[in-house]
Amino acid sequence: MGRPPLMEDVAREARVHRSTVSLALRNHPRIPLETRLRVQRIAERLGYRTNPMVAALMQLKKSSQPLSNAAGLAYLTSHPGRYDWRGRGAQVPDFFPGAVRQARELGYKLEDLWLTEPGMTGARMSQILQARGITGVIVAPLPPGQHRLDLQWEKFCVVSLGVNLIHPLVHRVAHNHFYTMKLAVARCREAGFRRIGLYMPRDGYRTVWEHWVGAYLAERVACDDMVAPCTAATASAATFHRWFARERPDVIIFGGSDVQAWLATKRVRVPEDVSLINLHVPEGEPFLAGVRFDPAVTGAEAVNQVVALVNRHELGLPAQAHDFRIHGQWVAGPSLRAPSRSEATGASRPVRCATERALE
């Protein structure tokens, strides 16, 4: 078996200098588009792959260069408003600052581009990315209800942030929502609670909802003293109060709704009357117990993954898409109280469920 092709082989075949090959494979705008495409076709035909050790050294070297000389990465957003995805009122964490910092560390410049700009199409955005020499693309979390995106995928190395992009299926970096719910139930069991409840309306991010509710139902199968979840179509104080009055949970697991405020309107005290666990505790929240994710860590990991694809020149949709899941950290808070002896023991001994067995 012969040796693997080298960059010099690609340069010789393309009749260019090896530095031109290096820049062309990274889609650097310094190289004319026609030359970039020709070099990339030759590299693909010869079976050339970037040496990961060399790529790592080049990244270290690039990280000390001025940002103006850095190769580009794209952060594609598709919310109705230009910056609906960040700031107050956004439904998902802002991953962009952490992604920008990590891109800079690796010698890249990350630019946010808007897919729903008036007159923009997938084909037009693909042309813009190519003209700017951008190969690496991070698809930011899509707005609720959107699961499809059109782009000329064969020309780019793509990683999606979150689980909402379903068509096409690409490599994804996302929070581990299934594990988050299992962790929340485990902490309830550790504290001795028996009547655990879930309030989770279906509006919003459907795929995330499925992961949360699926994990809760899996635990409920193993521990039938957990109450039936409230999974109304939309968030509603009236629906919540009817469910709460019927089920009377000792602790409520929820995410992204006004449960705390709704309880206050009925003079239900937290945590004296009912405890609360939030599946996405915001930074700086002093009261709610639950799970917290650092969006900077998630954004940085998306950059790590897409840069690895660029270094390996893995363009197009993957034959086997991979998910990289980020685990959140448990945050203790006053909203989760220690239960009374009667709540912890009940009429009979609590059933050991899957999460308890996993913690042993």
Domains and CATH numbers, the chain: 1-48 (1.10.260.40), 67-175+295-326 (3.40.50.2300), 177-293+329-359 (3.40.50.2300)
Q: Which of 46-50, 199-203, 249-253 has the highest mean pLDDT?
A: 249-253
Q: Report the alpha-carbon distance of residue 254 to residue 233 in Å, rounded.
A: 15
Of the pLDDT bands very low, low, confident and very high (cuts 50, 70, 90), residue 68 is: very low
Q: Tokens standing for 111?
A: 């630019």
Token duo for residue 308: 């690895």
Taking the CA atoms of the chain, what radius of gyration do you get in angstroms?
Answer: 25
Proportion of the chain above pLDDT 70, given as a percent? 87
Say if residues 75 and 275 touch (Cβ distance below 8 Å). Answer: no
3-class state of residue 173 by DSSP: strand
Lowest model confidence (mean pLDDT) among 3-17, 55-69, 177-191, 230-244: 55-69
**Reported pTM:** 0.75
313-322: average pLDDT: 92
In this structure, is the dihedral angle defined by the CA atoms of residues 107, 111, 112 and 117, taken in order, positive or negative? Answer: negative
Q: What is the mean pLDDT of the chain?
A: 85
C-alpha distance across the termini of the chain, in Å = 51
Q: How confident is the model at residue 347 (pLDDT cuts 50, 70, 90)?
A: very low
Average pLDDT (116-121) is: 91
Other beta carbons within 10 angstroms of residue 247's beta carbon come to 17
What is the helix (H) or strand (E) element at residue 343, kind and residue range?
Answer: helix 341-345
What's the average model confidence in pLDDT over 251-271?
Answer: 93
In the chain, % of residues over pLDDT 90 = 54
Whether the predicted pLDDT of 340 surpasses 80: no
Closest by CA to 14, choosing from 50, 36, 37, 39, is 39
pLDDT at 67: 45
Q: How far apart are CA 302 and CA 172, in angstroms?
A: 8
